[in-house]
Chain A
Amino acid sequence: MRSAGFRRTRRASAAAVVTALALTALASCGTSSSGDGNDDSGSGSSDPSAPLDPKAKVTLTIDCMPPAAKAAELREWNEDVKTFNKKYPNVRIDGKSTPGQCLEPPRFTAMLKGKSQPDVFYAYFTDLQQVLDNDGAVDISAYVNDTSVPALKDIQPQVLDVARKDGKLYALPTSNYTMGLMINRKLFTQAGLDPDKPPVTWEEVRAASKKIAGLGKGVAGFGEYSAGNNGGWHFTATQYGLGGDVVDASGKKAAFNDDKGKQVLQQLHDMRWKDDSMGQTQLLKWGDLQKQIATDKLGMFLAAPDDITYMVQQLGAKYENFGMGPIPGAGGTLFGGNNYMIKKGSSPDKIKAAVAWLNFQNLTPEKGQFDWGRRKADNLPVGLPQPNFFTGESKTADDAERVANATMPVENFKAFMDNPVQGKAEPPKAQEIYKILDNAMSAVLTNKDADIDKLLDTAEQQVNQVLANQ
């Protein structure tokens, strides 16, 4: 009979062998995911200002290629690749399509952490710090100039500023938005309000909200988020609209515990509980209000113009039914958007090719995303007030093209377009601050007896703690 000791040893040795095998397998897995275009060849100039060497073969992986379900968009993408390849036959564009949203934060976070992002990757304006913390993007300052991006001088400086850190440029914008007041024109008309003149102050919003809620049948006049950090995000937008701030100029102290912050919460509380004009269901987050307004159950909410695209394309609403005005108060508005960054470690040739592609597809009036004639022919939305990051000549030319090819009544956005409000970026540590402010927002919308002063005091302390923890 074998001793127990022997049995144990044999088991241990077998386990050691198996573990060794497992580790070898893991190690070999690890090397396959780095995914840098290994068919790059040729030795292009490493001088960033020199043009892309036509002999250098470059493959660019790019995410956010439209999925097959978006047939028209995908066709345009493929056309763009073809046109681009006429000038740059040496660059192979390898698009990766993303179902649903281009960027879902959990997936994006995992991708950065695993360094598996494509060569050219999509990011929100607010993602820069996260990308830099993960050493994910290359500094493209030297590669972006008037030759490589001819419309550079016409891009709004504040949009480019978002892509900068310590004076270095890390991204090129593809779209941006500013928040305004979205209205449902049908409900406005039914309630005897003028849909061409959306409310411009909070008093007017409150009065209009009451009238719309008076229509009954479960219709709410005004809707607001209070969950998923979206409540804090809209608190910030509302506070900006009143000319207030959320974090002071130093970025170290909360700046919302003032009359304006109080006004934000008080007016929501009163609309919810005194006027009963905000519906009974709260704790809403992105997507919920869009569904309500698309089905004519909601009169107004704070939104960006691209929400309309979502409502029309995904929820079956009609463009004609919506309009936009500037954010109430118009003292400032939250702006955001998205851009493309280039993966850290890319060769100079790859960076040059990426900049050339981004310039062609996203930053050239009448080309790529700005080819409004083609978009109209493909039955895609034309006429929404975004992207809107150009100024000067580029803007004039683009606006004219857009109006000439509009597929929706652009006059519905006149109030928004004619009264541009100064955009303001999101605060530092935005999501953490939004989480805290979510509590204040959900409190006034779900608790009739909410103590607004106390809510603001608590939120202020907590935000200060978050900012001190940076």
Chain B
Amino acid sequence: MSAPTLSTGKASAPPPGHHPRPTGPASAREEFVRALRRNVTAHGFLIGAVLCFSFFSWYPMVREFVLAFQKTENGETTWAGWSNLSYVFNDPAFWQAWRNTALFTVLALLLGFAVPFVVAVVLNEFRHAQGYLRLLVYLPVMLPPVASVLLFKYFYDPGYGLFNRILEFLHLPAQQWLQDPGTSMLSVVIASTWMNMGGATLIYLAALQGIPGELYEAAELDGAGLLRKIWHVTIPQTRLILSLLLLMQIIATMQVFTEPFLLTNGAGPEGSTTTVVYLIYQYAFNFNNYGGAAALGLLLLVVLAGFSAVYVRLSRSSED
């Protein structure tokens, strides 16, 4: 770490027009106080933010880290070393939860990444009523998640649900949707994609609209059709936004909790929708095992930190 290079005023000759202070050269302290004074309002705002962050984010994070290595039993808190981690690794639900989370992430990316992109490309082609269309696409995001989930719960109901009615109408066999371990996760992902795609679509749309029109004109002059235009102009031009959103979606989908928790009451058939965050919730609030919850949270943090590092790197290169 470099040494502070704070000015001591040792060799400073007063600049022309500067009135010398009666007490002699300014000390480091005075300099600091003056610096503070100059930005009183800014520091006022800063204190509020720092208080909020330290109380609601940083302190809990530190606490979580400590908890991950502690055990509380019969009123005594002791250091547990790696035992919480080994407990978590030995939990029969551990690998299942990671597998489910990975499956959710992959499915959510296939659907949740591609569908909004296609929707944005289509939207971008419309010259009229784009404002209304954007609103329509964004509406589901504004619905409270519980309302959306409830809606999908009715759609998926094997007895009376809309989806099975449609299948019936098309003379196709009825599905168990959320209630079959084979289809439960896909059903969750479909609902989740519908609920969340509005935001991603708008970001893609903004990126698409940032592409200079000349590029398309040039491509058209060269005889490119729609697909070639997308392949040679749209995708290369939005590559960075695409990769940033991809990472953001990986980070977000790996923390999925609400949808499986509400749609399948947590674990789903044979535990097929137990996610890592749901397992953390169970440890903490059903089993009273804070240590285990914190340890698992830490593992998730490590994995997400890896993705975040890539994200930071990518967003830096986008600034350049």
Candidates A29, A133, A443; contact of B73 at CB < 8 Å: A133
A14 sits at the interface (CB 8 A)? yes
How many chain-A residues does the 8 Å CB contact rule pick out? 57
Cα A447 to Cα B182 in complex, Å, equals 10
Residues of B within 8 A of A284 (CB): 265
Residues of A within 8 A of B270 (CB): 439, 442-443, 446-447
Instruction: Determine whether the beta carbon of B74 is less than 8 Å from that of A133.
Output: yes
Residues of B within 8 A of A282 (CB): 179, 269
**A283-B4 contact given A133-B75, A435-B286, CB 8 Å threshold:** no
Task: Give A14-68 interface residues, CB cut-off 8 Å to B.
Answer: 14-15, 17-19, 21-23, 25-26, 29
Instruction: Determine whether the beta carbon of A283 is less than 8 Å from that of B284.
Output: no
Cα A15 to Cα B269 in complex, Å, equals 51
B267 sits at the interface (CB 8 A)? yes
Q: Mark A285-326, 1 if CB is under 8 A from B, else 0.
A: 100000000000000000000000000000000000000000
A279 sits at the interface (CB 8 A)? yes
Instruction: Determine whether the beta carbon of A18 is less than 8 Å from that of B90.
Output: no
Instruction: Determine whether the beta carbon of B269 is less than 8 Å from that of A447.
Output: yes
What distance in Å separates the Cβ of B99 from its nearest Cβ neighbour in chain A?
Answer: 14
Task: Give B139-173 interface residues, CB cut-off 8 Å to A.
Answer: 157-160
A85 sits at the interface (CB 8 A)? no
Cα A359 to Cα B55 in complex, Å, equals 41
Residues of B within 8 A of A408 (CB): none
Q: Which of B15-23, B44-52, B227-235, B298-306 contacts A (4 or more CB under 8 A)?
A: B44-52
Residues of B within 8 A of A105 (CB): 285-286
Residues of B within 8 A of A9 (CB): 4-6
| Most chain B CB atoms below 10 A, which of A3, A279, A283 | A283
A465 sits at the interface (CB 8 A)? yes
What distance in Å separates the Cβ of A227 from its nearest Cβ neighbour in chain B?
Answer: 3
CB-nearest residue of chain A to B67: A113
Candidates B54, B159, B181; contact of A279 at CB < 8 Å: B159
Task: Give A450-469 interface residues, CB cut-off 8 Å to B.
Answer: 458, 461-462, 465, 469
| Most chain A CB atoms below 10 A, which of B87, B269, B271 | B269
Candidates B43, B72, B264; contact of A283 at CB < 8 Å: B264
Residues of A within 8 A of B178 (CB): 283
CB-nearest residue of chain A to B7: A6
Instruction: Determine whether the beta carbon of B159 is less than 8 Å from that of A228.
Output: no
**A13-B50 contact given A5-B5, A113-B290, A227-B265, CB 8 Å threshold:** no
| Most chain A CB atoms below 10 A, which of B36, B91, B284, B288 | B288
Cα A136 to Cα B51 in complex, Å, equals 30
Instruction: Determine whether the beta carbon of B271 is less than 8 Å from that of A439.
Output: yes
Residues of A within 8 A of B271 (CB): 438-439, 442
**A109-B6 contact given A283-B269, A442-B270, A447-B270, CB 8 Å threshold:** no
A280 sits at the interface (CB 8 A)? yes
CB-nearest residue of chain B to A26: B55
Cα A429 to Cα B87 in complex, Å, equals 14
Chain A interface SS verdict (over half): helix
Residues of A within 8 A of B287 (CB): 429, 431-432, 435
What distance in Å separates the Cβ of A72 from its nearest Cβ neighbour in chain B?
Answer: 31
Cα A109 to Cα B5 in complex, Å, equals 50
Instruction: Determine whether the beta carbon of B75 is less than 8 Å from that of A135.
Output: yes
Instruction: Determine whether the beta carbon of A283 is less than 8 Å from that of B265.
Output: yes
Residues of B within 8 A of A279 (CB): 159
Cα A22 to Cα B59 in complex, Å, equals 11
**A19-B32 contact given A435-B282, A443-B270, CB 8 Å threshold:** no
Instruction: Determine whether the beta carbon of B2 is less than 8 Å from that of A25.
Output: no
Residues of B within 8 A of A5 (CB): 2, 4-5
CB-nearest residue of chain A to B157: A281
Task: Give B109-160 interface residues, CB cut-off 8 Å to A.
Answer: 157-160
Q: Mark B166-201, 1 if CB is under 8 A from A, else 0.
A: 000000000010111100000000000000000000
What distance in Å separates the Cβ of A149 from its nearest Cβ neighbour in chain B?
Answer: 26
**A465-B90 contact given A105-B286, A132-B75, CB 8 Å threshold:** yes
A134 sits at the interface (CB 8 A)? yes
B268 sits at the interface (CB 8 A)? yes
A192 sits at the interface (CB 8 A)? no
A130 sits at the interface (CB 8 A)? yes
Candidates A14, A283, A458; contact of B179 at CB < 8 Å: A283
Instruction: Determine whether the beta carbon of B269 is less than 8 Å from that of A134.
Output: no
Instruction: Determine whether the beta carbon of A281 is less than 8 Å from that of B159.
Output: yes
Residues of A within 8 A of B266 (CB): 227-228
A160 sits at the interface (CB 8 A)? no
B11 sits at the interface (CB 8 A)? no
Cα A26 to Cα B55 in complex, Å, equals 7
Residues of B within 8 A of A280 (CB): 157-159
Cα A341 to Cα B150 in complex, Å, equals 38
What distance in Å separates the Cβ of B149 from its nearest Cβ neighbour in chain A?
Answer: 14
Cα A416 to Cα B42 in complex, Å, equals 70
Q: Mark A86-116, 1 if CB is under 8 A from B, else 0.
A: 0000000000000000000110010001000
Residues of B within 8 A of A442 (CB): 267-271
Cα A109 to Cα B284 in complex, Å, equals 8
What distance in Å separates the Cβ of B170 from its nearest Cβ neighbour in chain A?
Answer: 19
Q: Mark B37-68, 1 if CB is under 8 A from A, else 0.
A: 00000010011001100110001000000000
Cα A435 to Cα B5 in complex, Å, equals 60
**A10-B54 contact given A280-B159, A442-B268, CB 8 Å threshold:** no
Instruction: Determine whether the beta carbon of B36 is less than 8 Å from that of A439.
Output: no
Instruction: Determine whether the beta carbon of B54 is less than 8 Å from that of A134.
Output: no
Instruction: Determine whether the beta carbon of B179 is less than 8 Å from that of A26.
Output: no
B35 sits at the interface (CB 8 A)? yes
B246 sits at the interface (CB 8 A)? no
24 CB-based A-B contacts, threshold 8 Å:
A9-B4, A14-B36, A21-B47, A21-B51, A22-B54, A23-B54, A25-B51, A29-B55, A109-B288, A130-B288, A133-B75, A226-B269, A227-B267, A228-B266, A282-B179, A431-B286, A431-B287, A439-B271, A442-B268, A443-B270, A446-B176, A446-B269, A446-B270, A469-B90
- 8 additional contacts, CB 8 Å, given A10-B32, A109-B285, A435-B287? A6-B5, A14-B35, A17-B36, A280-B157, A280-B159, A438-B267, A446-B181, A446-B270
A-B residue pairs, 6 tightest by C-beta: A135-B75, A227-B265, A5-B5, A446-B269, A280-B159, A462-B92
Interface residues of B (CB under 8 A from A): 2, 4-7, 32, 35-36, 43, 46-47, 50-51, 54-55, 59, 72-76, 87, 90-93, 157-160, 176, 178-181, 264-271, 282, 284-288, 290
